[in-house]
Structure 1
């Protein structure tokens, strides 16, 4: 039993090494510019060892995208306690997500290619982008509705419209930054959050 447990743990650790190596390479060289051989070398294993865990490059990409989201949520402490209005915490998270996107240019670009479709990336990225947007919209809309119910958010606010506005703003700011790296994406998102707080909250 001990040997089985050790083997399982080693397999989990090896898989994590592969995913982290791929995440770094996709972020620096792009999806098309990264080979499975390069990922295997970066992870310190053979290509056959990599294929034992991920039979295709698309399967590896799917796990990389999932890991990117996990790392983002961990980095912005999405589950931490917060004493103020929940919608304010959501706006803080919006800022922190954009800040993290700035440090992952190629993966941010990959997300945009996935959202709009491209021959450069597989269908799995499009499915990921759609689900990510759907979940983000649902969560934001629910937080705004909750804020209305408890009196933190103006009663005439439209939860779905607010969620769509936030998502569109993040996407638009990232797109401007992808086109021009000198664009102050963080400054723009701070200005947006200030405006939204002033217009949305009962007590800005």
Structure 2
């Protein structure tokens, strides 16, 4: 369904295009997404869309970076608030945030799977993403593991995997599965 064509400032139009693209890519994956369908949804021509966001590949990276910046800010605030005192608090917050935003989890899960192919435009982005995430979380685990970055990769891998299964089967109690895993890795929480 296209929006009525209205004149927007360039930044507002770009934000509108990225918002529509995010929803569409989350629903169909990058391979099933078309710039023509995006243009129609935004009430623009395809040339109008490319004027604001460039190519399909550039748009994909823009979508990913925008969502990552948003998530990274939230993660960094949680990490700074908890310090090294309570990594579980940080991880629980991250998992709750993801559970509350299944459309974003779906976007990243679909694109992560598609980008396994080295010729996918987001391949390098996802290789770097796990490395950045592990470096960001590693300081939380210095008191829990002789290999804090390795522990961060293991926990991120579990989170990605349980989220994939939850998207496939919403009957899975993702919070219960997360809690059981985190209890085994970091010790059971009091109360």
Output the TM-score relative to the length of structure 2: 0.77
How far did residue 194 of structure 1 move? 2.7
Deviates more, 1:87-96 or 1:158-167: 87-96
Gaps (5+ residues) in structure 1?
Answer: 1-8, 149-153
Query: Conserved in 1, the CA contact under 8 Å of 2:53 and 2:59?
Result: yes
Quote the offset at 1:166 in angstroms. Answer: 0.5
Q: Distance in 1 between the 2:110 and 2:56 partners?
A: 18
State the shift of 1:22 in Å: 0.3
Which whole-Å CA distance do the structure 2 matches of 1:12 and 1:21 have between them? 14
For the 8 Å contact 1:23–1:64, the answer to whether it is kept is: yes
Post-superposition Cα deviations, 1:103-149, rounded to whole Å, max 9, x if no partner, equal: 342542212332x327xxx532111111110100111112222xx3x
Gaps of at least 5 residues in structure 2 are 1-7
- Where 2:17 maps in the other structure, the secondary structure is helix
- Report matched runs for 1:138-157 at 5 Å: 138-145=135-142, 148=143, 154=144, 157=146
Q: Which has the larger radius of gyration?
A: 1
In structure 2, distance between residues paired with 1:86 and 1:52:
47
The corresponding residue for 2:13 is 14
Task: Indicate the SS of the match to 1:124.
Answer: coil
Q: Is the 8 A contact 1:37 1:47 kept in 2?
A: yes
Q: Deviations over 1:65-117 (max 9, x none)?
A: 1122234446x564256357252333124413541563342542212332x32
Count of equivalent residues: 181
With normalisation by structure 1, the TM-score equals 0.73
Question: Shift in Å at residue 47 of structure 1?
Answer: 1.6
